[in-house]
Amino acid sequence: MEGYIVQLSTLSSPSKTSAAGLMLIATAIFASTAIDAWLLDLDWHNQQRAGQLILLATAAAVAMWRPLQTVSPLTFSLTIAALLLGAYSSIRADYPAWAFKELSIYAGSLITALLIGNAAKVPAIQSWLIRFFLISTAATAWMFATYYSVALHIETPNLDPYLLLYGFDNPRFLGQLQVLLLPILLAKMAEMRDKKSAYWPLIFALLIMHWCIAWSLGGRGMLAAAFTAHFVVILIRRSYWRIFAGQAVVAAFGLLLHVVLFVAIPDWMGIDATTRSAIRSSLSGRETIWLIAWEMFTRNPILGTGPLHYSAVWNHIAAHPHQLLLQWLAEWGALATIVLVTISVKGLLHGARFIQNESKPIDVAIWIGIVSALLLAQVDGMLVMPYPSTWLAIICGLALARWTPALAPSLSQTCFFRCVGFTVFILITNILLTELPHLKKAEQAFHETNEIGSPPRLWSQGWIPMPNKSSQ
C-alpha cells in the first residue's frame, strides 16, 4: 500500500489528485454493477447502463477542469468531423432527443478514454483500474462456481450455464467482456510469475475458469475473435507466439474443466446438464437484421437515419444489427463511418508499431484485447452493451497512457474537449435525473402501448418511441 501512496504523491497538484480520485470512485461504482443488483432495483442491463452513465458524466465533469491526453492534429481533426457529422445526423433524425442520447454516450466514452490517457500515466492509477477490472471479473467467476455447487444439491438440479451466470441480462454478453479480459489475465499471470509472486496460481485458476465459462456459453464470435487476435499478434513480432501458445494451453485446460463440470460430473451423478457447442453454421437471424441495416443505409447513404435509429424500426429479432460497420452506415452514414474507421485503424496501427519492439506483456495484452473487441463487434453488439463497451473505453485509455507521450495540451484541443465535456455532462445528467427514477413506469407504459419485446439498446426497453407494431 505504501508504494501506491508514493506513486499517488507524484501527482502534480491537489486538483489532479481529486480528479483521479473521482474517476477511480466512479469506475468502482461502474465495475460493481456486474457484481450485485443494488441500484434502484433495476434489471441487470439498466443497472449497468446507469453505472456507465455515472462514469461518463463524472469523466465529462472532470474534463472541464483537467487536461485530457493530447492527440495528433489529424486525429483531432477526424474527431471533430465525426462528432459534427453525428450531431448533424441527430438533428435530422426522426427522434433527435434519442439520437443525441446515443451521441452523448459515444462522446462520453471518448472523453473517458482521453481523460484516462492523461491520468493513468501515473502507474498507481493504471494499477487500480486493472484491479477493478480483475476484481469484478473474479467475482463473476466465483459466483458461477458457487451457483454450480448449489445447483448440484437442489431438489431438481439444472446445470445450465445460462442459469448459473450472475450479473448479465443475457449471459452471452459476458463473452464481450472476456475478449478484453483473457489477454490481460494471461499478461498479469506472466508478470506475477516472473516476480515470483505466490498469488500467480490464483490468476491462473481465474483464467481457466473464464475459459470454462466461455466454452460453456458457446459464443462462436467470442472464441473466433479471441483466437484470431492472439494469432495476428504473431505477425507483428514472431516471439509473441508464446502468448498465442500460452493462451491456447489455458483454453485447453478450460475446455477440460467444462467437460468435467458439464459432462463427466452430471453423468456420474445421473443428472441432466445443458451443453452448447460453438460449432454452429447458422447466422442466428443475423442475415435478416444485417439486411435491414443495409436497406436503411441505402435510403440515407450520406448522413444515415440518426444515431440509435436502427431501434426506431421494430423487427422481431434485435434492436441493433449486431454488426458495427453496418450500424454506423445505417445510423451515422457513410461519411461518419469512413471517419470512425480511419480513427480506429490509425489507433490500431499505432499500437502495432508500439508493440513491434519487445514490449511488456500488458501492452501486448491491451492491443490483443482491443483487436478482439473490434473483431467481435462485427458479429455482435460489442459497442451497444454498456458494461463491455465502457470497459473497452477504459482499456483504450490505458493504451493511450502507455503508448503515447505526455504532451502539453494545445489551446484548441483544450477548448474543444471542454465544450464537448460540458455538453455531455448536461445531456447525461439529464438522463440520470429525469429518466432513471421513472424508468420502470416508462418501460411498462411502452410495453403496454406497443406490445413488443425488449432487446437491449439504450435502456432494456430496446426500442425508441414508435407507433404501435400493428400499424407498421
Chain segment 152-209, per-residue pLDDT in tens: 888 677 788 888 887 776 777 899 999 999 999 999 999 999 988 888 999 999 999 9
Average pLDDT over residues 244-263: 96
Query: How far apart are alpha carbons 206 and 215 in whole angstroms?
Result: 14
Burial of 205 (0-12, 13-18, 19+ CB in 10 A): middle
Which DSSP string corresponds to 266-300?
HHHHT--B----S-----TTHHHHHHHHHHHHHHS
9: pLDDT strictly greater than 90: no
Q: What is the pLDDT of residue 454?
A: 79
Question: Mean pLDDT in the chain?
Answer: 90
Measured in degrees and rounded to the nearest 5, phi and psi for residue 321 equal -85, 0
CA nearest to 24, candidates 95, 124, 92, 161: 124
Are 438 and 72 contacting, i.e. CB atoms less than 8 angstroms apart?
A: no
What number of other Cβ atoms are within 10 A of residue 241's Cβ?
Answer: 13
Q: What is the pLDDT of residue 13?
A: 55
Band of residue 262 on the pLDDT scale cut at 50, 70, 90: very high
Measured in degrees and rounded to the nearest 5, phi and psi for residue 76 equal -60, -45
Band of residue 104 on the pLDDT scale cut at 50, 70, 90: very high
Classify residue 323 as left (phi > 0), alpha (psi -120 to 50) or beta.
beta
**87-101, 175-189, 400-414: which has the minimum mean pLDDT?**
400-414
pLDDT tens-digit readout, 219-228:
899 999 999 9
Query: Which runs of consecutive H residues, i.e. helices, occur in 69-199?
Result: 73-92, 96-119, 123-151, 161-164, 174-194
Q: What is the pLDDT of residue 102?
A: 97
* 65 or 348: which leads in pLDDT: 348
Are 174 and 168 contacting, i.e. CB atoms less than 8 angstroms apart?
A: yes
Are 150 and 362 contacting, i.e. CB atoms less than 8 angstroms apart?
A: no
394: pLDDT strictly greater than 80: yes
Query: How far apart are alpha carbons 153 and 343 in whole angstroms?
Result: 52
